[in-house]
Structure formats: C-alpha cells, structure tokens
C-alpha cells in the first residue's frame, strides 16, 4: 500500500477546488454541493464549508444515494441503501456532484439519472478528489484534486477522518474487482 496523498494534500486540494468552483460559476449563488454516497458525502460537506468560508455565506449541501440507479445490479450482492437528502429544490440550480474517486464513470452516470428524477438543474458539474483514468463512458470531471494514472489491477482508496481512522489517498497493488 502506497500513500499518494496525505491529509495536508487533501486539505489543499479541497481548498483549491473550492476556489475553482467559485471562479468558474462567478460566485456561490444558485450552487448546491451534492455528495455521492459514501465518501462523496463528507467531501461535499467539507467543500461546502470551504466555499462558505471564502464567500462568507452558507452554501447548501446534500447527499445522494445511487444504489437504485446502478447498471450492475445483476453482478453484485444487494447493496443497502443510504439516504438521499438535498435540502433545497435543485430546479434551475448549479449542482456540483462530489465523489472521492472517478474511475469508469458509471457511478456518475447513475448519479445524473438520479438527479434527473429529483428535478431539472440548470447545470451539473463534477468535482472529484482523485481521477484514476480508465473511463468506460464519456464522463469527465470539471474539478480534480489529483490525477493519478493507475493500472486496472490496482485499487485506489480514499480515507477521510470523519469516516476512517486517518486521512489520505492510497494505492493497493493487484486488487481484482471493480469500483465505479
């Protein structure tokens, strides 16, 4: 197991992404930050917090479970469902989806379908802590913490203080099996 980002790297990446979001969207009005269950959720909360620090005003953040929208239900055991709670109406807003690792793109596709059933945002953007390549769908991230080229046999894991014992991004060699 190799650590490629430590907790200081993660914090810096989130701060930079917060600035980029504000720059791209010319401010924080109409923004809602939505984290994809599981580790996208704490990242979204932290990102919303960073943006609020910079702007001096709170930014709504929510959580999205994509279990009911997956395209691989027939190849895995049933996954238990997490909560989907977005505190504001997403119609006409800019939704920034947040996830920890962008890989095949299938999770994001499912998240876009889930959002479509919840409303009609004006714009959807994507922020990820790590982009590890190997896209299977035409999906790209608007904001990336770190690009980490990997081979298919490797496994990238993100640990966050609020959920795990420590914080950082790790690569594990020779791990068979997908994450989306």
Partner 1 sequence: MRHLLTTETLDRAAIESLLDSADEFLDVLHRPIPKVPALRGKTVATLFFEPSTRTRMSFEKAAKALSADTMSFSPSTSSLKKGESLKDTVLTIHAMGVDCMVVRHEATGAAWRVAEWVDVPVINGGDGAHQHPTQALLDCLTIRQRFGGLDGLRIAIVGDVRHSRVARSDVFAMATLGAEITLIAPPTLLPLDTTGWPVGTSCNLDDVLTEFDVVYLLRVQAERGGASVFPSNAEYRERFGMTRERMSRLKPDTVVLHPGPMIRGIEIDAAVADDPRCLVLGQVTNGVAVRMSALYHLMGGVPVE
Rg of the chain over CA atoms, in angstroms?
A: 16
Of 2, 23, 74, 176, the one binding partner 1 by CB under 8 A:
74
Q: Assess 176 for contact with partner 1 (CB under 8 A).
A: no
Q: Based on CB atoms, which residue is closest to partner 1, 8 or 81?
A: 81
Distance CA 81, CA 60 (A): 22
Report the alpha-carbon distance of residue 128 to residue 122 in Å, rounded.
Answer: 20
Alpha-carbon distance of 126 to 164, in angstroms, equals 24
Give yes or no for residue 149 binding partner 1 (CB under 8 A).
no
Q: Is residue 165 a contact partner of residue 159, using CB atoms and an 8 Å limit? A: yes
CA gap 86, 37 in Å, rounded: 12
Among 8, 57, 81, 122, binds partner 1 (CB under 8 A): 81
Q: Does 69 bind partner 1 (CB under 8 A)?
A: yes
Query: CA-to-CA distance for 146 and 128, rounded, in angstroms?
Result: 8
Contact 64, 36 (CB under 8 A): yes
Of 1-9, 53-61, 82-90, 147-155, the window that binds partner 1 (rule: CB under 8 A) is 82-90
Q: Does 32 bind partner 1 (CB under 8 A)?
A: no
- Does 75 bind partner 1 (CB under 8 A)? Our answer is yes
Binding-site string for partner 1 from residue 109 to residue 148, where x marks contact by CB under 8 A and - marks none = ----xx--xxx-----------------------------
Contacting partner 1 (CB under 8 A), which of 4, 79, 123, 139? 79
Q: How many CA atoms lie within 13 A of 39 on its CB side?
A: 20
Which spans of this chain sit near partner 1 (rule: CB under 8 A)?
65, 67-70, 73-84, 113-114, 117-119
């Amino acid at each position: 197991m190799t650590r490629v980002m430590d907790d200081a790297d993660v914090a810096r990446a989130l701060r930079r992404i917060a600035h980029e979001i504000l720059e791209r969207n010319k401010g924080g009005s109409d923004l809602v930050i939505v984290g994809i269950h599981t580790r996208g959720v704490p990242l979204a909360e932290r990102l919303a917090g960073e943006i609020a620090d910079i702007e001096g005003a709170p930014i709504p953040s929510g959580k999205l479970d994509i279990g009911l929208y997956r395209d691989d239900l027939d190849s895995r055991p049933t996954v238990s469902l997490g909560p989907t709670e977005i505190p504001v109406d997403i119609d006409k807003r800019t939704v920034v989806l947040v996830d920890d690792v962008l890989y095949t793109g299938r999770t994001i596709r499912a998240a876009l379908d889930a959002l479509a059933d919840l409303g009609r945002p004006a714009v959807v953007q994507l922020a990820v802590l790590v982009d590890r390549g190997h896209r299977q769908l035409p999906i790209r991230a608007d904001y990336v913490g770190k690009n980490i080229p990997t081979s298919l046999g490797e496994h990238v894991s993100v640990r966050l203080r609020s959920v795990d014992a420590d914080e950082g991004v790790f690569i594990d060699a020779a791990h068979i099996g997908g994450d989306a």
